[in-house]
Chains A and B, each alone.
Chain A
Amino acid sequence: AQSVTQLGSHVSVSEGALVLLRCNYSSSVPPYLFWYVQYPNQGLQLLLKYTTGATLVKGINGFEAEFKKSETSFHLTKPSAHMSDAAEYFCAVSDRRDKVIFGPGTSLSVIP
């Protein structure tokens, strides 16, 4: 069975600082991996995904993530945080069939 852990339920960064949100997964098969973002009182929207091929994936709003099989990780980064990045971020893993399992989420705060 798949599972996802996100280290840190809440992360605070200063505006302009590096954003690093951690995601580790377990999967019995090569996974598909996703990062979604949820702004207050909204549904989730896709930031980026890894399916196959290049392990460094670029997404919207300047975010990127790297799939590291040896570390079973898919950490999300952004070089310079903006105030508009404040949101809840969810890592997700799929079993390459029908189900997608979401992590517990990390709330990102950006300090002016």
Chain B
Amino acid sequence: NAGVTQTPKFQVLKTGQSMTLQCAQDMNHEYMSWYRQDPGMGLRLIHYSVGAGITDQGEVPNGYNVSRSTTEDFPLRLLSAAPSQTSVYFCATAATQGSYNEQFFGPGTRLTVL
């Protein structure tokens, strides 16, 4: 099992460009989420999904879109990249809805916006 995979590992964008960060899991987990990690701020929740077709906003959703058409995939879209979105992005999954569950993290995508 690959677990949680993220692509790409690194990306450099220019201001105003759009892109999609991919997240895939093969653990049949219902819950998937996206975090961004910035120095001194820990991880902040961007969006999450409790199952296919269901998404909701986290702490910092502005500038990002998500969709969940399948159990396996949860892409994160940056509509018009800004330097403030320079960060490391992590996708995480959990077996079921319910915040008592362990989350499994992907290896991260390091994004730089110039």
Nearest residue in A to B44 (C-beta to C-beta)?
Answer: A102
Nearest residue in B to A96 (C-beta to C-beta)?
Answer: B99
Whether A96 lies near B100 (C-beta < 8 A) is yes
A78 and B25 alpha carbons, distance in the complex (Å): 32
Which residues of the partner chain B approach A112 to less than 8 Å between Cβ atoms?
A: none
Whether A51 lies near B90 (C-beta < 8 A) is no
Whether B102 lies near A46 (C-beta < 8 A) is yes
A103-B42 in contact given A43-B105, A98-B97 (Cβ < 8 Å) = yes
Whether B107 lies near A43 (C-beta < 8 A) is yes
Interface residues on A, range: 20 to 34
Whether B42 lies near A100 (C-beta < 8 A) is no
Query: Which residue numbers of A lie inside 8 Å of B, CB to CB?
Result: 4, 9, 32, 34, 41-46, 49, 51, 90, 94-105
Interface residues on B, range: 20 to 34
Which residues of the partner chain B approach A101 to less than 8 Å between Cβ atoms?
A: 45, 59
A96 and B98 alpha carbons, distance in the complex (Å): 7
A81 and B78 alpha carbons, distance in the complex (Å): 41
- Among A98, A103, A104, A105, the most chain B Cβ lie within 10 Å of the Cβ of A98
B15-50 interface bits toward A, Cβ cutoff 8 Å, 1 = contact, 0 = none: 000000000000000010001000011111100101
A103 and B92 alpha carbons, distance in the complex (Å): 16
Chain A to chain B contacts (Cβ below 8 Å), 11 pairs = A32-B100, A43-B108, A44-B43, A90-B43, A95-B99, A97-B99, A98-B97, A98-B99, A99-B99, A102-B43, A104-B40
Whether A104 lies near B42 (C-beta < 8 A) is yes
A100-B103 in contact given A43-B90, A90-B43 (Cβ < 8 Å) = yes
